[in-house]
Structure 1
């Protein structure tokens, strides 16, 4: 009878893991201790989809304040399933919750996690606030149909797609309208209660918004058909300063050096270090980058990728090229040892500062999906799966080590 009970218990536990959409991976070389080897797969989570075909969105995963992993998925064949946000337990990869459907089949921003754990996402014309404990929507904010405008007594048409979500110092959400269509674009600030605090009309680009060390809002936008890098007051949205800038790329990020200076593109091949107080240039340098994405490691080296030659690194002190060009793929993030995580078609490789390979993971993953948690786990996604991989470091706590700065995707210099 005792033997039968043990067998039944094993069957029940195995069945529960199957139903939860998670496969725990047992390394055949693992001696049974709680310490895994670097590069080992800890678990694989599969999107719960029933008879539907769902795919994980190719955006960065997000790690919550309690270690929960968040992703977005949508899909279908005959009947398209709108996007939802999913929460996964960090210990075993089981599903924690999934939200009700968002507005459309796609999301318009990274998943952002606030200091209190609240989850935020943009989808088409709406901003969603999600309870991290249950996945229930706290509130949903929608772009106004019209906004007050001095030239339009009945208000200016302002209804359009939103993008570029960033988390302000006080928890406010900063984003903008930037989709196609005939309407007035605006930069918005919405508070944690779901009420709009301010807006400012802009000629928007799709570039991400960055929050600097002093809480100032930085973004690429236009005014009178001229493109600028602008600094805005987070309390009012008023313009503090602006300098001419045009990148031509919708995903060029604005980064912040450890002393608060901005490192940003002013033209397609022109990178600059900028005084955040007044927008004055500290230096400007011609650089090689095919995608205009900027990372900064813990030593202050600016890392960029060129599809023809590889990784180029530049001094943040004077903009000069520093060291050899590394013939390795584009880096998705940098850990606190300065190692670069580069995605290839069938996995990713981790490289040391000198370009030598440290360790690898074999398995197709989205390049944009990689995040590193504070407990040395690398999370990546592809298709309908999320992978947890044992790493040996955390995401760097200084510099600008990931596209959205941190594993909560805040685009805020002061958040980790």
Structure 2
């Protein structure tokens, strides 16, 4: 009897010890953060876990460079926790995190977040290309193709020589390629809708709507070359201007035609104002169209044919348009009346706008800063080699980027320049040697400050400073998606 009661007491004691022994927190979630970080800049990532007994937890990060953080202060389980670190060396690192509870029990390490620590501003982060060493003339030339960046960081760019639209991951690695079945060149820059649909046209006249996976949602055969990207309206309507001199408004769900407007000349990208008004060019005339039916709201005439797509400044209720003689005009959005004109150069590019409203434009081997109030030239920066230039893009830090095609003159590589808002040179980096045609690549800036541009047989990603300027038109077609819509 005593033996039985003793055994029972031992079992009860064991159970009490077992059930009373605290368990560690659950394994924390894989840290969340950017997969690209730059040397000597503060990097942040987030994780979360909980404790089986509802105890508070603390976190410790292993930053993958030989440094572990101190344990954090106690937080409630289930509450996301963020920590920061600064890397001093470049390379690939794996970030992990673990947690402990107030009883001192420590969880296992999380699954790693792999991060690429990259050199600083002005350095090439990555590049990719299609070079045929046996037949170089068959290599893909990206000089005349512009990037678009999707909502999840996917990178898209067309290629003429291989008749493909390319999708890459944020690090430049291949994701998928869409080859035109008729082997026609993807001659226009892609545009991306808010739901991730990719729109792109070919020189043969095919216009595709692709899912983010690269599958075809629908297509239209315009039987006329599509050389410029579409614009995407406030309701998702897609506005396309092929070489047949007609603007088409199509339904994003199925490509059904809503209305058409015969422009009669001029192949430039349509653009859309914040109120949905569609702006298109016809030779020397700019039209403002009602998005509901394509009827004309107003028109504005230039001296010569309009050379590039306009840029819309929502804060000042104006747009800027350039003709082939190089005249830049400021036009009121309300009625098409003119504010001012200023002559730039016969090869003036499309303008962009910074957060103060200042206008930047290139032409004649110079970068110009234009006062938006009166069109006065505030300063101009002269390229070391006065040769053809791309249009600019401007960042939130006031850095203006553009490519100078110096290879045709000096035999050296073409150069991407960064110029400060006061007109001083910030840095320059040589890229490749390209052959510019009518529609050259335009620099694009993402939220991390990375600058994307096509040049020669490579598509390039260069480390810049600051995301896009907080304006309605800081780069080609307004934004990183080439939506062509002002906000």
Calculate the TM-score normalised by the size of structure 1. 0.76
Structure 1 match to 2:266: 205
Cα distance in 2 for partners of 1:203, 1:258 equals 28
Cα distance in 1 for partners of 2:400, 2:224 equals 37
Cα distance in 1 for partners of 2:185, 2:337 equals 39
| Structure whose alpha-carbon radius of gyration is higher | 2
Cα distance in 2 for partners of 1:299, 1:404 equals 19
- Structure 2 alignment gaps of length 5 or more: 1-38, 40-87, 94-116, 407-412, 435-439
The alpha-carbon deviation at position 136 of structure 1 amounts to 1.3
Over 3 Å counting, the alpha-carbon distance change for 1:142 and 1:372 in structure 2 is same
Structure 2 match to 1:78: none
Cα distance in 2 for partners of 1:280, 1:339 equals 31
Aligned-residue RMSD, C-alpha: 2.7
Cα distance in 2 for partners of 1:214, 1:98 equals 35
Structure 1 counterpart SS, 2:293: coil
Asked if residue 127 in structure 1 is aligned to residue 186 in structure 2, the reply is no
How many residues in Structure 1 have an aligned counterpart in Structure 2? 351
Query: Per chain length, whose mean CA-contact separation is higher, i.e. which structure has more relative contact order (CA < 8 Å, sep 6+)?
Result: 1
- Structure 1 alignment gaps of length 5 or more: 1-25, 76-80, 144-158, 180-184
The alpha-carbon deviation at position 161 of structure 1 amounts to 3.0
Cα distance in 2 for partners of 1:372, 1:98 equals 23
- Picking from 246, 254, 260, the partner of 2:310 is 254
Q: Deviations over 1:279-327 (max 9, x none)?
A: 122x12232233232222222112222316x2222211122222x3221
The alpha-carbon deviation at position 269 of structure 1 amounts to 4.5
Asked if residue 379 in structure 1 is aligned to residue 476 in structure 2, the reply is no
Structure 1 match to 2:100: none
Over 3 Å counting, the alpha-carbon distance change for 1:217 and 1:163 in structure 2 is farther
Over 3 Å counting, the alpha-carbon distance change for 1:113 and 1:207 in structure 2 is same
Structure 2 match to 1:355: 423
Structure 1 match to 2:127: 44
Q: Deviations over 1:200-221 (max 9, x none)?
A: 2231211221111211001111
1:63-212 superposed matches below 5 A: 63-75=149-161, 81=162, 83-90=163-170, 92-101=171-180, 103-123=182-202, 124-132=204-212, 134-143=213-222, 159-164=223-228, 165-179=230-244, 185-192=245-252, 193-212=254-273
Cα distance in 2 for partners of 1:50, 1:105 equals 23
**Structure 1 or 2: more strand by fraction:** 1
Structure 2 counterpart SS, 1:177: coil
- Picking from 318, 322, 325, the partner of 1:268 is 325
Over 3 Å counting, the alpha-carbon distance change for 1:190 and 1:98 in structure 2 is same
Q: Deviations over 1:2-38 (max 9, x none)?
A: xxxxxxxxxxxxxxxxxxxxxxxx9xx9355736322
1:287-366 superposed matches below 5 A: 287-293=343-349, 294-307=351-364, 310-322=366-378, 324-328=379-383, 330=389, 331-344=391-404, 345=406, 346=413, 347-364=415-432
Structure 1 counterpart SS, 2:466: coil
